[in-house]
Amino acid sequence: MGGAVPAPVSGAASGAASGAVSGTARRGRLRVADRVYERIAGHAVRVVLAEVWAGRSVKGAPPRVSVARPGSTVTVRVTLELPFPADLAGLARGVRDRVAAEVVGLTGTRVSEVVVVVEKLVAGGAW
């Protein structure tokens, strides 16, 4: 993940050894790599779209996910193909909500924005 995470130190030992150290300093920090956010978001997108693609003879390309971390938040950009006809707005909303919920739930990082870009509509198959 980018670096080693310091081992936890018990409260009594850390206070005695380092003097008056705040609770935050004892806990250390965790840095989540961008590729971890991307994988979490990609999985969330596939879960949302799995049902809508099921039973279709033609399927869209896998979603592409990129992230940016302005400060202590994460911004996720998802580029995807959607089936046509379908409720495009509803699918995009479902993707946005699921991505935000999974990133927050699994990493604890606040999501400032999820941008969903529909790159292509894929016709074909049963609906």
User: Which pLDDT does position 10 carry in this prediction?
Assistant: 44
User: Which pLDDT does position 29 carry in this prediction?
Assistant: 74
User: Which pLDDT does position 55 carry in this prediction?
Assistant: 82
Phi, psi of 118 (to 5 degrees): -90, 110
Q: pLDDT tens digits for the chain (127 residues)?
A: 445 444 444 444 444 444 555 565 677 777 889 999 999 999 999 999 998 888 888 888 999 999 999 888 999 999 999 999 889 999 999 999 999 999 999 999 999 999 999 999 998 755 4
Phi, psi of 53 (to 5 degrees): -85, -20
Cα–Cα distance, 74 to 103 (Å, whole number): 9
User: Which pLDDT does position 75 carry in this prediction?
Assistant: 96
User: Which pLDDT does position 7 carry in this prediction?
Assistant: 46
Cα–Cα distance, 103 to 36 (Å, whole number): 9
And the tokens for 49? 């779209």
Indicate the burial class of 82 (C-beta count within 10 angstroms; 0-12, 13-18, 19 or more).
buried
pTM of the model: 0.73
